[in-house]
């Protein structure tokens, strides 16, 4: 198979949902169809029920330290499908956002009883921002849920996207009879399924006036005819290009737990979902067809086995062919690295690979070279965009409670923040360490991991800050003037960039108005490749300012 064919056969996507909508169940059923697993129950839910660190860590451990399920590759109808896992818990939303940079499309699961929930709205915002194509699966149709037309309206209102039903349910809950596929004009009858694969194909019914429909659906047939006429009357015909541009989301209905609507979803997915797309880098757009290899790290996973301190960096390949044992250029460090045992993840197994192609996600064993957002190339200085740190909203000072373990604590904090668990800010020449996160749970996770993986103990002193933002200016004198009398509210991030802590939204607004010459940035993605490669010196240069989020 040649290089082009290899690229064309790849489909890399993520399933996203509000917790409990059915992401884990759907993932599992897709893997069953793909032959990647043979029994249901093999994919552990990443649901955190008690909201505590030990619960989270236990789940991580049960899932084989998440590594096995971080990427789930399988072959289906001649295509290589890479399904990337996203954490369900809202405190780990940043991890999900970063994973979304590594996919080419998304399946969004919505619970028909609950409709669009907050987490769904936030995740969808990220997809819209990046114009990621989205297919929506409305799940749990075996339950009495919201009226399907109301659901479609809710999707459009809350997610700000045109929702185009490609299948339509025949009733729901206890009287759920199945779905009619408006695209291939077939009827799929509901047959509560469980864990095995249903092999029944849809029944082709081209004309909804066919009397067979009355025979099969009795009273529900006329409702389906009315609904279908209304949809065809109101909705524009489905155009694949509109979906690929991220403007229209095709909608399917089903019940993941009953294996219903899942194969239909998967078959449509492979028919319309995009293959590996171009990726914006700081200086140019990188296309998958380029000969030279490039890729970026979007996730780092520490091995939780305390005896082994190695980590796995997950790299999305953007262009060219990756080869085992070849020398590659680590752009930020300016180092040349060779990877002896790169892994891919097929059918939940880690497999040593010889090569990999755009769209693939590979695991690289790392001894501390990688940070999230790092890129690997054949020499070109490329920094990919869209993998930022967001300005955190919860801040705590780290207080060492075991002075004999100060070194371990420093190392642990360094490594955990490299993984993207949280952000580290330092004051007072590095002597005062402040951790910033977007969720409370991360602090518990950090404390737990510092103790279990590094033998270090600490406590956290809450700090009353509203937000941290990166500050820059065209003129270094402006920064100097701004910084005067603000030592308590200034810190350096891990790369030495200057960060300002605002106590309140009002205060931040005031500072922005009073200091128009200073730019306040709400994501870390404002550095140039040079600044990233030489991050000891804080950048002082013009930038577009960001609106207050």
The residues that touch ligand G4P, with contacts defined as CB under 6 A, are 17, 19-25, 45, 47, 88, 139-140, 142-143, 255-258
**Cα–Cα dist 288/281, whole Å:** 13
Give SS3 for 182.
Answer: coil
Q: Tell how many helices (H) and how many strands (E) occur in the chain.
A: 16, 31
Neighbours of 16 (CB within 10 A): 27
Nearest distance from residue 504's CB to ligand G4P, in Å? 35
φ, ψ (nearest 5 deg) of residue 207? -110, 120
Question: What is the end-to-end Cα distance of the chain in Å, rounded?
Answer: 47
**Cα–Cα dist 119/88, whole Å:** 9
Nearest distance from residue 139's CB to ligand G4P, in Å? 5
Cβ proximity to ligand G4P: between 174 and 241 the closer is 174
Cβ proximity to ligand G4P: between 21 and 83 the closer is 21
Nearest distance from residue 141's CB to ligand G4P, in Å? 7
Nearest distance from residue 232's CB to ligand G4P, in Å? 27
- Spatial CA neighbour of 530 closest among 319, 273, 334: 334
Cβ proximity to ligand G4P: between 97 and 253 the closer is 253
**Cα–Cα dist 511/520, whole Å:** 9
Buried b (16+ CB within 10 A) or exposed e, 142-178: beebbebeebbebbeeebebbbbbbbbbbbbeeebbb
Cβ proximity to ligand G4P: between 17 and 181 the closer is 17
Q: Are 153 and 125 in contact (CB under 8 A)?
A: no
Cβ proximity to ligand G4P: between 123 and 413 the closer is 123
Nearest distance from residue 63's CB to ligand G4P, in Å? 12
Q: Are 267 and 30 in contact (CB under 8 A)?
A: no
Cβ proximity to ligand G4P: between 256 and 281 the closer is 256
**Cα–Cα dist 474/517, whole Å:** 8
Nearest distance from residue 26's CB to ligand G4P, in Å? 7
Cβ proximity to ligand G4P: between 260 and 501 the closer is 260
Nearest distance from residue 257's CB to ligand G4P, in Å? 3
Nearest distance from residue 45's CB to ligand G4P, in Å? 4
Nearest distance from residue 142's CB to ligand G4P, in Å? 5
Nearest distance from residue 162's CB to ligand G4P, in Å? 24
Nearest distance from residue 143's CB to ligand G4P, in Å? 5
Cβ proximity to ligand G4P: between 264 and 531 the closer is 264
Cβ proximity to ligand G4P: between 176 and 322 the closer is 176
Buried b (16+ CB within 10 A) or exposed e, 81-119: bbbbbbbbbbbbbbbbbbbbbbbbbbbbbbbbeebbbeb
- Spatial CA neighbour of 306 closest among 409, 457, 452: 452
Cβ proximity to ligand G4P: between 151 and 409 the closer is 151
Nearest distance from residue 347's CB to ligand G4P, in Å? 20
**Cα–Cα dist 549/391, whole Å:** 10
Q: Are 222 and 295 in contact (CB under 8 A)?
A: no
Nearest distance from residue 261's CB to ligand G4P, in Å? 9
- Spatial CA neighbour of 181 closest among 165, 192, 197, 193: 165
- Spatial CA neighbour of 36 closest among 74, 84, 67: 74
Cβ proximity to ligand G4P: between 19 and 275 the closer is 19
Q: How many residues does the chain have?
A: 549
Sequence-separated contacts (24+) of 41-44 with Cβ below 8 Å? 41/195, 42/348, 43/69, 43/72, 44/69
Cβ proximity to ligand G4P: between 23 and 519 the closer is 23
**Cα–Cα dist 449/418, whole Å:** 14
Cβ proximity to ligand G4P: between 22 and 202 the closer is 22
**Cα–Cα dist 66/83, whole Å:** 14
């Amino acid at each position: 198979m040649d290089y082009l064919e290899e690229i064309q056969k790849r489909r890399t996507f993520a399933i996203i949902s509000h917790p409990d909508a059915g992401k884990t169940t759907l993932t599992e059923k897709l893997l069953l169809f793909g032959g990647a697993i043979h029994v249901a129950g093999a994919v552990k839910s990443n649901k955190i029920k008690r909201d505590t660190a030990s619960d989270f860590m236990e789940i991580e451990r049960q899932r084989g330290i998440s590594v096995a399920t971080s990427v789930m590759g399988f072959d289906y109808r001649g295509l290589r499908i890479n399904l990337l896992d996203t954490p369900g818990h809202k405190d780990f939303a940043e991890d999900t956002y970063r994973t979304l940079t590594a996919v080419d499309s998304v399946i969004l699961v919505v619970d028909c009883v609950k409709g669009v929930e907050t987490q769904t709205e936030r995740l969808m915002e990220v997809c819209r921002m990046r114009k990621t194509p989205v297919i929506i699966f409305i799940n749990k149709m075996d339950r009495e849920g919201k009226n399907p037309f109301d659901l479609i309206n809710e999707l459009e209102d809350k997610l700000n996207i045109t929702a185009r039903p490609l299948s339509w349910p025949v009733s729901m809950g206890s009287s759920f009879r199945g779905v009619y596929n408006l695209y291939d004009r077939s009827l799929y009858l509901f047959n509560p399924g469980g864990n095995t694969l249903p092999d029944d194909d849809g029944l082709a019914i081209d004309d909804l006036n066919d009397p067979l429909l009355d025979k099969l659906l009795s009273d529900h047939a006329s409702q389906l005819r009315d609904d279908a006429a209304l949809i065809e009357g109101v909705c524009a015909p489905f155009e694949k290009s509109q979906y690929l541009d991220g403007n229209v989301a095709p909608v399917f209905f089903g019940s993941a737990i009953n294996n219903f609507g899942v194969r239909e979803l998967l078959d449509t997915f492979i028919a319309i979902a995009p293959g590996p797309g171009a990726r914006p880098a700081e200086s140019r757009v990188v296309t998958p067809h380029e000969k030279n290899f490039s890729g970026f790290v979007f996730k780092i996973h520490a091995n939780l086995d305390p005896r082994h301190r190695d980590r796995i960096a997950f790299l999305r390949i953007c262009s060219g062919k990756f080869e085992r044992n070849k020398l590659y250029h680590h752009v930020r460090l300016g180092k040349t690295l060779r990877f002896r045992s790169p892994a891919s993840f097929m059918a939940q197994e880690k497999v040593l690979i010889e090569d990999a192609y755009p769209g693939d996600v590979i695991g690289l064993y790392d001894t501390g070279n990688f940070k999230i957002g790092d890129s690997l190339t054949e020499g070109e200085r490329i920094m990919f965009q869209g993998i930022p740190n967001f300005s955190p909203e919860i801040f705590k000072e780290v207080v060492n409670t075991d002075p004999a373990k100060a070194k371990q604590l420093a190392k642990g904090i360094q490594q955990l923040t490299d993984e993207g668990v949280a952000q580290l800010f330092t004051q007072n020449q590095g002597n005062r360490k402040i951790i910033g996160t977007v969720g409370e749970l991360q602090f518990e996770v950090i404390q737990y991991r510092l103790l279990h993986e590094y033998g270090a103990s600490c406590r956290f002193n809450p700090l009353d800050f509203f937000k941290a933002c990166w500050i820059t200016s065209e003129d270094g004198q402006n920064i100097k003037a701004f910084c005067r009398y603000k030592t308590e509210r200034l810190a350096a991030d891990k790369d030495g960039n200057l960060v300002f802590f605002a106590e309140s939204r009002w205060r931040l607004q005031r500072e922005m108005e009073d200091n128009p010459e200073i730019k306040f940035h709400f994501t870390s993605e404002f550095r140039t490749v040079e600044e990233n490669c030489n991050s000891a010196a804080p950048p002082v240069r013009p930038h577009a300012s960001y609106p207050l989020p």
